[in-house]
Structure 1
Amino acid sequence: MHGSRAEWSEADAAAAAADRAPAAPRASASFVLAAGVLGLAVLAGLFGLASAEAPAWAKLSILFAILVPAGILGLAALRRRPALTGAMPESKSRLLRRAADAVDEPRAVLGPGGETVHANAAFIDLFKKSAAGAGGDPVAGVFGGDPEQLRAFAKLCGDAKMGLAGQANFPLPVSQNGPGVRRIHATPVPEHPGHIVLRIQDLPHQRNPSHDDRDRFVALLDAIGLGYYEIDVNGRLTYCNATFGEWLGLAPADLITRGVPLGSLIASGIPRSGAPYDPFGGRSGEGSGQVVLRGFNGRDAAVHIVQSVARDGAPGLLARAVVRDLSAERRWRQSLAESDERLQRLFDDAPIGLALVDSAGAIRRCNEPFRALAGGDAAELRGMRIGDLLTDESRDRLNESLRHALSGQTDASSVDVAPRHRPASVISAQLSRMVIDGEPLFIVYGLDATEQRTLQSQVNQAQKMQAVGQLAGGIAHDFNNLLTAMIGYCDLVLQRHRPGEQSFADIMQIKQNANRAADLVKQLLAFSRQQTLKPKVLKVTDVLTDLTHLLQRLVGTNISLRVVHSRDLGFVRVDQGQFQQVIVNLVVNARDAMPDGGTITVETKTLKLARPLQRGHELIPAGEFVEIDVIDEGTGISPENIQRIFEPFFTTKEVGRGTGLGLSTVYGIVKQTGGHVLVESTVGKGSLFTVLIPRYHPQSEAETERAAPSSDTPTRDLTGAGSVLVVEDEDPVRAFSVRALRNKGYTVSEARSGVEALEVLERMERPVDLIVTDVMMPQMDGPSLIKKVREKWPAIKVICISGYAEESFRDKIGSWDDIWFLPKPYSLNQLAGLVKDAIGAGKRAA
């Protein structure tokens, strides 16, 4: 059982136990018979020797007869001595063997050479199983192939052979009923030197203290989903936990019983240059790394192994390892990578610029829109200070916002900045503070707000112009009422004086100044887009040709006027007089900008826009336009003044040299026509004013020949007959109108408001022929009065008088016939002529 590693079998045990002697009865009879013969021979010899008469040969014969049987008997006794000492009755031997086999504990008698003299069935069975589990080596199997345990067992047997009884505990391998202790007793046989008796006990409840620690550790690993294994010098598993077995698709006991080599579990195998116990192809047995385990269920498991050599002296153990399954980790890493990829795509594909900036203002990361705003690529921008991408003024504003956010005064702020490569554009930057891994960082959201700020500026400008226009319109309305009375009473007074009288000339001077004031009011109304326009289809070339002579007189002799016409300009639909006023005002403005002379160029061309065009504060829609450019070589306009040149009464001229209404009139007329006015100027080089009028496509040839009706002349007979109701809240205007119409032969009634007018109509026996009513009145305005009148007296004709444009209230009246419009201020002749047309001919005034 020691170094020869003899195979243990039932035959060995049987041969050791079958050393038998002759049967007991036969042995006893032979021995008694020999003893009797020897006794008789001795007695006969004694008598013969004692006889004196006996001859010498006879005495020798007697002595021989005694010695021969005695010698034979002695030899027989010597020959049978072992049998006598070692043999026993056959029935008793069989009984002892059965009794030994009935004992559960393995027992055996070993001879001096380690051979088995006797072994019971439990001992034989133990060594047979051990041999099967250890590749045919029973001793290695009993001790799990642990060389330390084999040496300890050899020492125990050696001490017993020397006469020292002893016992030793050996850890029980997992493959043999789980963790526990195997106790082996070795007792010498004094009568037979070198012989020992072995008795083996399994003590499963007497656990190895080191196993308790290991079990607690393994239970913890199982709880947190980590694997654990132990291997021997051959790389075979001697222990593993349930988690490790689950990954491989086999129970731990099965893995250990099979003695599965670690190398067979690694998908790529262990390199030949490596030791079988080193999963990483080395020879130290220690290390960490990732491998792929191939399970018995056909599934591969990516794991991370941390293996170390056992240094606690545990028998049969070379190395132990903790194993971490990387499958879940790889899944969440892949999920995290996919999430990062999605986040990166969202980051890169965001419609606004995004940048991650540290507390020093350095760019950590940015997306493509941000790179477009900043004017650089990712490699250039990474690590660059964001302030270096901006103009000096913008950099200071941004750094101030960063300092406020960094100091904790605010977590978010907004600032408008201008990039260095496009200083005219506006970027709206939103800063949001956050803390990542204890480091304060900023997310900068950048949006190109150039168009938005332009639109906002346009809205602000439009609102300002609208407010100024409303103010100007209100002033103009009040002035129109005053001027109507002044001009009207001048006409009444002039009717009582002859042209040659001095008073006639004085009154005419008053009327002329009133008319000049009326022209100023018209310019205010033009700016506020509340004047009355009478558009018709015209060719710009024809208008400029007719106007060239007047323009030449206006610019003077030291300035050259150059008019350039393009072909195929097409038509525009404008009020001819107002359009001429636009050209005149622009040319006069250019003249005043060139005190030292120069050239003024008036050029026309066609502009076709496939998409909207942004020019300064103006957003020009797509379409076809007729463009009129007025170019001068004057002093130019400073940038701060360009923003205000279209405001009423704004002028850079000396006091008394201008009203400040020239360009505001241009702005109002063009806007009311549906066009646009643009200006470009460089100080010291001159200015360019561009007027864009929508191109008009007439439906017929006759439409292009339509002209406004000629105004009434004083020589026309303005007398008439009929009944008229004048409704006006301004007493001077109403008094003049009533008196003028009565002087022309009409029966006139009057009312101060729409409510009073209805009361007057209710008291009349028959309705009037015509109502002359103001549009803007308290209590009930003109359009409301007209609706009430038409409901009850639909045949009454109406003339609306107002200081505002007809378009401002036409939608309130509707498309009724027999409604005329007379703008304030009006003269006696204009009023009388329109009343006569309305009553007499029934023809609607244009």
Structure 2
Amino acid sequence: MESRYDMLFIGEAGDASWLGAALGSAKAAVALEVMETRQIECEGVETRVAAAPPDVIVLGPTLPSPLSMARHLRDLSPRSQIVFVLPPERVERFRASLPFVSNLGAAWTVSNDATPDTLRSVLQEAASTSRQRANRVALYDRINLQLASRASTTESQARRSQLALSERYLATLLNQSPDAFLAVDRQGRLVAWNEAARQLFPIHSDDALGTDAVALFPEGCRDEINQLIDMALQGRMVRREVPLRMDAGEAIIHGDISVASVHDNNGEIISVSISARDITERRRVEEELRQLNETLEQRVAQAIAERVQAEDALRQAQKMEAIGQLSGGIAHDFNNMLSVVLGSLDLLSRRIGPAPQARRYVEAAMEGARRAAELTQRLLAFARQQSLKPEPLDANSLLAGMSEMLRRSLGADVRLETVFSGGLWRTCVDRNQLESAILNLAINARDAMPDGGRLTIETQNGFLDDRYAAAHPEVVPGQYVLIAVTDTGEGMPPEVMAKVFDPFFTTKEVGRGTGLGLSQVYGFVKQTGGHVKIYSEVGQGTTVKIYLPRYFSRGDEPIDAPAPAVVPLGEQHEVILVVEDEPAVRQFSVEALVELGYDVLEAHSATAALRLLDAHPEIVLLFTDVVMPDVNGRKLADEAKRRRPELKILFTTGYTRNAIVHNGVLDPGVELIGKPFTIDDLAAKIRKVLDAP
């Protein structure tokens, strides 16, 4: 080297030694300064370069983000030449990317395993270029001073400054843009990106330069990205929505990308630009809006149905209240008249003497008056105006004491079974009225089984929650003692069930009933502060559930409703088939399961259910009603198990569990959830069945 050159090496000390050894005899003409990587932060490379710009800046192979540092050093010293020392495997792709790197200009690349002669040649060429550029700039400056006026020189400098400022503005806007930008050469290699692209794509360092740009996208859409790049290289601008990030086969980030060609001054296509915008949130909002629109009609219909149901319940309550007031008024007046009749007959029987025929007439009249008085008492019970004498009692003990009387009343053709719950709470009611209510229900059950059958009386502790109370306005949420009476009789259709508590309504033949039995039960339970619910299927039987408020003696503390635990949700792709012949119940079951995160299919009959089972092997659980027309839930489950032995089964019914099992409808040990059930109850039961081995 004829002239003495200033050279600054930035990197590790070992690489600097290799560089010094490679320079060899040329050291005398080179002023080599070494700044190790660990010194960059504390001493400040910017201060060093700005104070005395070197002819050549050599960046070692271990520097992080060498391109970023090179651009920054170029801004500080435009005449200094940049030489990148790189591992052999990075040289070619790095060299191909350099023309697309903004604010860098010409630069040299050399492998760190190059021969000393090659390295000296590259460094000498870079140093000569730097010195020639410096001399040329100085010469041009002198010529400009001699030939150009000060005004024209100022104008030229202003234009250059304006151009440089515009470039900086453009670079700043590009880096501050929320959209990601990628530059790709004609061979599909990544040559540049902005900060948003670094956040959106897996770009972690400058090592990404020269790599396949398509590899930044999920594997499933890379063919489509390649096609878009090919279309852009043909001069077309294209736009698509594609997944930008995937997890377990599902898109977690959606993108709207635009691909366009970049032309040089001659109009030739030299590269492709890809812009990408994260539209995940927009897609989520659009999907929610679409689902809302799709279910709008269903939600309106559901709201109308709920309103109609509430109005029907209100009308029924108002009707029962009005009938009760009327019945109570009539009963009170009738009692007054009966008092006169019975009193007069009693006096007459004392005065007629031993005349047998006259006494027979009086006794017959008194018997009729007493029966009329009993009817009056039933009317008062329905009107909730009878005099009650509530006392704390154990329902198990009361029913055990009634067993013999009930068996005699039922006759030999009806088998009585009792299932008493251990640890049953006490309730505070009128003992005689409760016995009368149980006897009325038993006699009604007997009359519904003309050919004989089975009557099951069951007790258990119960809790009616806020959701149940919301659907039954007259119910107060809380703890109750439940007494359920189930028969295997003829059952009732819905239109009959709607009237069973009306006074004087009966389905029995003339002369076999007054129509006041269930009315008396209804009135007594309501007057006690309880709730009565009836469930029936034609040809299958009826269950009447009496809920009596729990009694808290002195020193007892009411137990609050259990704190809501974490509701177990469905796991991904768990599909449940709901089979229910009652549309309203089926709709609730489907909506509850969807709310819990399950995929749900529904069927209104066993035939439709079997078709769905054959068509959807992904179904993991069959949730079916026990009592259905044509083919019941038990037979459906047997056939489903024959076809799919691994299928889980969960039954539901309005009957009590013991009544269903004891009557031979289900086998012991099957999974069953009773109606009505809450969403929390259903969630726990479904999870228990699915998680069972």
Q: Same fold (TM over 0.5)?
A: no
- Which TM class, normalised by the smaller chain length? 0.3 to 0.5
Larger Rg: 1
User: TM-score when scaled to structure 1?
Assistant: 0.33
Structure with greater proportional helix content = 2
